[in-house]
Each structure stands twice: as structure tokens, then as C-alpha cells.
Chains A and B, each alone.
Chain A
């Protein structure tokens, strides 16, 4: 990073106090790389959040009732009785027994479809798919179980969301990871700006001393550095945003091709795109603040 990259002046404010900016310095490119990585990390974090939220909304009110008994007649009897109880139970929006052919389809990958095979004799549980009007909390699941236990003692009740708890935990961890990456990238931005500002200060120490001797204030000098930092960070930010968006689009196409329901829920909303578009502005703000604090801190050591 050369010593003049962070220096500049304009005809307004602090005209010509220090030489004109040179955007050919490496700082815009460092900022561009940081912003591109931040955009990708932010998009990943937001996408994972969306996927988790959508899956959670889909599964929150879902409950599965299994009638686990080996005797087919008893199983059917208990299932019918449980279904009748469930349809009358407060808060149950829908209760539907999973048809035998649907069960056969579900089991087909494991049990095969050879002619003459039958699964009727296997002790497969009867399934009732229940949809509640509110999330299936442990208390509600307990109440449901209590209501059907009298007519279907072989019943088991599970909240569908509970099955995906480990997945949600993994998603939350990935979101924290994305946040940590963004924090590290912010620190990298700060480090790059501090180094550039210090180099520029050292390269223009004599001019700064002259400006001081003529009555220039620390704030006037700092504003020159801030303005240049803003210009260089903005240039890098635009390049980084463009590169990041290209990467996001390419990645989203790859994941869409997987056809997974959860991945489909990871699509970014327009509000997410607004957040992503604001990342370069955040980078500019961080660069300006860092340049200001660095310069003011250094100038305070000069008389």
C-alpha cells in the first residue's frame, strides 16, 4: 500500500491541503475483496435464516400420531377412535389418517415392490397427520396424548418440529459462523484502513506540520483522509458488491438444482437484497470512521 493512496483534497471543505487521491492504490481492491466476501457471508446467513424460518413455520403446527400395535384389527380400531377424538379436539385444524397406499409409497424404497409381496402383515404403525392452529408445544402435545390415550392406548404423539431440532441447531450454528466471518472481515477492513492511513500520514508528515503551523485543525486534516477513505472504500465496495452478487446468483442456481424443499426455502427476500445492497455503505462508514480515529489519534501526538 503506498503512502499516497489515502490522501486527497477537493475544492470544497479543505481545498488542496494534501495531494489529490490516487485510487490506483491497493486499498480499493482490498475493500472490494472484503465486501465481496461479506456479501456472500451475509447472503448465506440470511438464506439460512429464511430456510429455518420457513421450515419452522411449516412444521410448527404439525403433529404426527402413531398407533403402534402389531394387531392390524386393533390398530385400525384405535386409529379410527383416535381420529374421531382428534377431529373434535379444540385447536385441531385438520386431522387426516395417512392412507395405506401413501404408507406403501413411503416404505417402497426400503421394502421393495416385487410381485406378490405384501406389507399388510408387517406391524407398521397407523399414522394420523394432525395440523394445529398454534405451535405444537410440549404442553399441547401432552394434552392431545391425554385426550386420545383413553381410546387409543397404543398411541404415540410427536411434534414434527422436534424431528428437525438438530437441523435447526446446525442452521443456527452456520448463521453464527456467517456472523463471525462478517465480524472478521470488518476487522480486516479496519486493519487495512489503519495501515493505509498510517502510511499516508507518514508520507505527508511535513505537509501536515505546515498546515498545523498555519492554524489548520486536526479535524480539517482528518476530513481530508476521511474523504479519500470514503472514495476508495466506495470504489472497492461497488466492485465487491457486484462480484458478491454474481457469486450469490451462481450459488443459488446450483442449490436450486438440488430440488430440496429446505433449500428452496433459503431464497432471499427483497428486504434481504436491500440489506446486501447496504453492505458497501457499511464498509464506507467503517473505513471513514477508522480513518478519522486513526488520523486524529496520530495527530494528537504532534504539537
Chain B
């Protein structure tokens, strides 16, 4: 069971403003717990990518508090950022693969950056490539891969080091439904191993395929809470023996204006 004080991420009245424009995110407060599966949804321009950037430490907020892994992430010294980022897996919407590296080397990159010995890299990377159906494309450069193949490489790279939190921006947008479901199962299995999964998507069908997931909906930079489960502090403490924030997300989806277009 996960206790409320074991939160992995905590946002408290966070605001984000680019330059002197209006706030892209306003009064964002929520808490994420280990091993849970969260969907982040909202219309285009609602602020999903901005929120993800805050989650994977690519952006600092203009105001508010962010705690991550029990530490204040806003005042985190720059030299400690790499250690935090190694605990994160990120699937970028545009994949952001390293173009001069093969599929194998792209997937191996987080392990190499973390200093894992070369002899301990080959087997898990090959297994991961096999799992995402790219075993025969291990030596291909990103430029020679299709969009779907690049997306699978990006996902394999994000999960290879078994991160504490996986942040994925439209991770199944370029793959066929069968592969999308397979990747969702991969994310779920990571969740069972303790990884917190945050997936930004427009795809309501995808959300319906993940039981027990929780929904964070952004609307014009503000977070609404269709599951009633993301408030900080939590609306209620989880009863003993029951995971926290376990409001029925499936029910919450029904009849809610989620702000996305079903695929």
C-alpha cells in the first residue's frame, strides 16, 4: 500500500508564464503517488506540454512549489538535476531521438549516461528492442525508421532504465492500435513495479483501456479533477489496504466534458 506521505510529485499553486505573456498554467495543485497511472488530457493549447515540461524538469515554474522525490525541485541546485532526471523516463511527442545513433544506441543512451558497464547493456537493450518489435532494426538510424518505429524507440529509451516516473507525451500517436495496446500494457507493468506513469493524450479510447487510471484534465491552463482524486492535500486519506486516489476513473469519464476529440 502507498501512504499519502510517500508522494513522488507534489505541485502546490504552481503557475507558469513564458516571458511577459499571460500564464500558461495557473494554480496547479496535485499529488502523484508511486505506482499509479495518470492520464493528462485537455484540448490543444490547454497547457499539457507545459505541465509535462515541469514534470520532467525542463522548465522551472514562475511561482508555486514543486516537490519531487521528497525534495524541493525549484531550488534544486543545477548539479543535482542529472541525478533527478535519471529517475525519470520521458517520451517526447517529437521523439527527440539522437540522429547519429542507431536504434540500439538510442535505447542504450540512458544506461550509458548513468555509467552502466557496456557488458550489462547489450542484453536488456536487445530484449527491449525485441519487445517493441524492432529487433531487426537495431542498427538503423532514426532517419531510416518510420514514425511508429521512432516512437517505439523513444518509448524503449524512456523505460530501459526502469524510471521512478515515466512521463509520456502522446506516446501512441503514431502506432497501430495493436501496438498501442501493447505499449499501454508495458506502462502498466512498469506501474506494478512502482513506476508512476503520466501519459498525455487526446485519445479517450486509450484512457478507457487502462483500468484504475486517474485523469488530470487541463482547461486553459487550469487543472480540473474529474476523478476527484488529485487534490492537494488529498480530499481523504486512503483506507487501510486500499491504494490512495482510487476513485473510479471510468465513471468519471462518463458524461464529463474532457475537452478532447475522440480518435
Contacts and interface: CB of A to CB of B under 8 A. Distances in A.
Nearest to B163: A215
B194 interface: no
Contacts of A19: 100
A213 interface: yes
A303 B60 contact: yes
Contacts of B208: none
Contact of B85 (A15, A17, A214): A214
A303 B61 CA distance: 12
Contact of A215 (B78, B101, B113): B113
Contacts of A16: 98, 100-101, 105, 109, 112
A213 B56 contact: yes
B85 A210 contact: no
A243 interface: no
B82 interface: yes
A216 B60 contact: no
Given A16-B100, A210-B96, A300-B78, A215 B110 contact: yes
Contacts of B157: 214
A220 B113 contact: yes
A213 B85 contact: yes
B112 A215 contact: no
Contacts of A20: 100
Interface in B83-122: 83-86, 88, 90, 96-101, 105, 109-110, 112-114, 118
A213 B57 CA distance: 8
A11 B81 CA distance: 25
A181 B10 CA distance: 60
A2 interface: no
A215 B56 contact: no
A211 interface: yes
A20 B99 CA distance: 12
A216 B57 CA distance: 13
Interface in A1-46: 11, 14-20
A217 interface: yes
Contacts of B88: 215
Given A16-B100, A16-B105, A19-B100, A214 B78 contact: no
Q: What is the interface residue range for chain B against chain A?
A: 20 to 34
Given A19-B100, A303-B58, A303-B59, A215 B82 contact: yes
Contacts of B99: 207
Interface string A261-283: 00000000000000000000000
A212 interface: yes
B113 A211 contact: yes
B71 to A, nearest CB: 15
Contacts of A211: 98, 109, 113
Interface string A250-270: 000000000000000000000
A217 B85 CA distance: 10
Contacts of A216: 82, 113
B110 A214 contact: yes
Given A210-B98, A211-B113, A303-B60, A217 B78 contact: no
Contacts of B85: 212-215
B83 A215 contact: yes
A235 to B, nearest CB: 22
- Which of A17, A18, A213 neighbours the largest number of chain B CB atoms within 10 Å of its CB? A213
A254 B79 CA distance: 58
A18 B112 CA distance: 13
Contacts of B82: 212, 215-217
Interface string A67-99: 000000000000000000000000000000000
Interface string B174-215: 000000000000000000000000000000000000000000
- Which of B56, B59, B83, B100 neighbours the largest number of chain A CB atoms within 10 Å of its CB? B100
Contacts of A300: 78
- Which of A11, A17, A20 neighbours the largest number of chain B CB atoms within 10 Å of its CB? A17
B100 A213 contact: no
Interface of A: 11, 14-20, 206-207, 209-217, 220, 300, 303
28 contacts: A14-B112, A15-B112, A16-B100, A16-B101, A16-B105, A16-B112, A17-B113, A19-B100, A20-B100, A206-B96, A207-B100, A210-B97, A211-B109, A212-B81, A212-B82, A212-B85, A213-B85, A213-B96, A214-B86, A214-B109, A215-B82, A215-B84, A215-B86, A215-B110, A217-B79, A217-B82, A300-B78, A303-B78
Given A212-B82, A213-B58, A213-B90, 4 more contacts: A16-B105, A17-B113, A210-B98, A303-B58
